[in-house]
Amino acid sequence: MLFRYTRTNDAFLRALRAAVASHRPAALRALLASLGDRDFAKALSHLSGRVIADALSMLSAPDRAGVLHRLPRAARTRLREAEGGHAHDSLYARLAAPASPLFLLW
């Protein structure tokens, strides 16, 4: 199913931004549970790299890895740019250890 913009999706994006801005990990986890990794990652992809990084930092390691794996390439690029391009210090690099399959996405 394609991710289409509807009022529901707009409301979800507003709720996602509000959860990140108010630093509410429980609300963020509830939003993730309501959509699943793939659609959550698609929603994150419409946000800035800094907001993506903040959202990912509030998720548990397994949830973070699942969302990051499904994050579109352009959003991963914005995430790296928001972190200053320091690959060895970035959240992305810490998530994608050399032995993990996520490292291959780098």
Taking CA 38 as the corner, what is the angle to CA 35 and CA 42, rounded to the nearest 5 degrees?
A: 90
Per the CB < 8 A criterion, the answer to whether 98 and 106 are in contact is no
| The predicted structure's pLDDT at residue 12 | 85
pLDDT of residue 11: 84
The more confident residue out of 25 and 84 is 25
Averaged pLDDT, 43-66: 93
Token output for 10? 């707009």
User: How far is 3 from 25, CA to CA, in rounded Å?
Assistant: 24
Please enumerate in sequence order all residues whose Cβ is within 8 A of that of 12, keeping only pairs 6 or more positions apart, or say none. Answer: 31, 35, 43
Asked whether the beta carbons of 40 and 31 are under 8 A apart, the reply is yes
pLDDT of 82: 86
For residue 57, pLDDT beyond 60:
yes
**Would you say 106 and 87 are in contact if contact means Cβ atoms under 8 Å apart?**
yes
Domain chopping of the chain, boundaries: 7-105
Whole-prediction pTM? 0.71
| pLDDT: which is higher, 105 or 59 | 59
Q: What are phi and psi of 3, to 5 degrees?
A: -80, 110
82: Cα separation from own chain's centroid: 13
Mean pLDDT of the 36-64 span: 93
